[in-house]
Structure 1
Amino acid sequence: MIIIVIRTLILYTLVVVALRVMGKREIAQLQPFELVVLLMIADLAVIPSENIGIPLLNGIIPILVLLSANLTLAWITLKSEKARDIICGTPSILIKQGKIVEEELKKNCYNLTDLLEELRIKNVPNIADVEYAILENNGELSVFPKSQKRPTIPQDFHIIPPYEGLPLSIIMDGKLNTKNLQQSDKDLDWLKDELKKQAIDRVEDVLIASLDSSGTLFTQAKQRK
């Protein structure tokens, strides 16, 4: 039993490292060859962990080979646009200038029901509002509404809104982030004064405190038992 646990932990660590080396993309963002590598690595890790009669190297070596092949293909697609088109494919335009391209639907085995469903997911319930719809290599559908149907932005009204940066998490689950506090050009005395305004006496009693670029502190206290 101990041997099985150790073998499983070794293979688990190797798979985690392999996935970490492959990058931080989500499953839906993987290219086809990356998805194949991911599935094969999972299968190769299961067999040696279940059967102690199979040498551990029989699982480790194929995983390393697949990881090397994936990194090689990734490097090739990074350097060569032609190779990238061959390995990853090219995006398909399913709707062009407001018209459905039937040939592209058939080519990608994409029916009208799938298209309408994806448009609803993208908050575009009316297909008549779509100017372009592009099926990306990872299977995601990019939707571009017609100009008169897209949401308005401040630039349409010649308005320049104030700058909005990323908010800083000052307190997380009762723990003070001193680095973010210093980055916000605030000190601990200021923070304590702000907490007292909301009837919070201790940093440990704060669930989350976040400071936005305008200097407004959002605070939520922990639930009291």
Structure 2
Amino acid sequence: MLVPSLDALMRILIVTPLIYLAAVVLLRVSGKRSLAKLNAFDLIVTVALGSVLASTVTSSNTALLSGVAGFGLLLLLQILVSWLTSRRHVTSSVVRSEPTLVVRHGEFLPDALAEVRLTEDEVRQAVRFQGVGGLDQVAAVCLESDGSVSVITDSSVGDGSALTDVRGWRAD
């Protein structure tokens, strides 16, 4: 079907602004942390929120109140999990992965690269993206729990305290 029925079109025109308004209100109430992409769990929740929003707008089988309830429940679960992980180390280690050091003092760590399935070329690309011309200028490269790659240069490593939670880091 290329053109929706008039009923389906009217439903979209009415439901879309209402679910949008509900989403804005619920996101404001739940706080900034609700859409942060700090780890894989956060990404899953963000995708699920988008899916609930989309199905509420486009599916005549999903009532507006059901969509709002699903959206709100996902946010409530996100708040609960983030609250637990910020207070209980055991819960945190279940939800979040720890950062992985893949370069230390300009040297690739082959076992770590294999573990996180990164290539040396991908790491070099991340180093270049940070405006660094050589690995000899790099103190550390870490694959973070959210999947991003952090590059710490020798000139910016400071006392290394930001790397204390990275297994395998040592200032030397």
1:120 aligns with 2:128: yes
Secondary structure at the aligned position of 1:123 is classed as coil
Contact 1:97/1:132 (8 A) holds in 2: yes
Equivalent residue for 1:70, pick from 71, 78, 85: 78
Q: TM-score when scaled to structure 2?
A: 0.74
* Alpha-carbon distance in structure 1 between the residues aligned to 2:61 and 2:35: 35
Q: Which has the higher contact order (CA 8 A, sep 6+)?
A: 2
- Structure 2: 5+ residue runs without aligned partners? 1-8, 157-172
Contact 2:35/2:42 (8 A) holds in 1: no
Contact 1:119/1:125 (8 A) holds in 2: yes
Question: What is the identity, as a one-letter code, of the residue corresponding to 1:46?
Answer: A
- Structure with the largest fraction of helix: 2
Shift of 1:59: 1.4
Pair 145,54 (structure 1): closer, same or farther in 2 beyond 3 Å: closer
Instruction: Give the share of equivalent positions with the same residue, in percent.
Output: 20
* Alpha-carbon distance in structure 2 between the residues aligned to 1:47 and 1:142: 36
Contact 1:15/1:42 (8 A) holds in 2: no
Structure number with bigger Rg = 1
1:141 aligns with 2:149: yes
Pair 73,45 (structure 1): closer, same or farther in 2 beyond 3 Å: same
Note the 1:87-166 alignment, pairs <5 A. Answer: 87-146=95-154, 150=155
What residue is the counterpart of 1:47 in the other structure?
55
What residue is the counterpart of 2:87 in the other structure?
79
Pair 73,135 (structure 1): closer, same or farther in 2 beyond 3 Å: same
* Alpha-carbon distance in structure 2 between the residues aligned to 1:125 and 1:43: 41
Shift of 1:97: 3.1
Shift of 1:120: 0.6
Question: What is the identity, as a one-letter code, of the residue corresponding to 1:49?
Answer: V
Q: TM-score when scaled to structure 1?
A: 0.58
What residue is the counterpart of 2:20 in the other structure?
12
* Alpha-carbon distance in structure 2 between the residues aligned to 1:75 and 1:25: 11
- Structure 1: 5+ residue runs without aligned partners? 152-225
Q: Cα RMSD over matched residues?
A: 2.3
Secondary structure at the aligned position of 2:141 is classed as strand
Question: What is the identity, as a one-letter code, of the residue corresponding to 2:125?
Answer: E
Question: What is the identity, as a one-letter code, of the residue corresponding to 1:71?
Answer: I
What residue is the counterpart of 1:221 in the other structure?
none
1:23 aligns with 2:32: yes
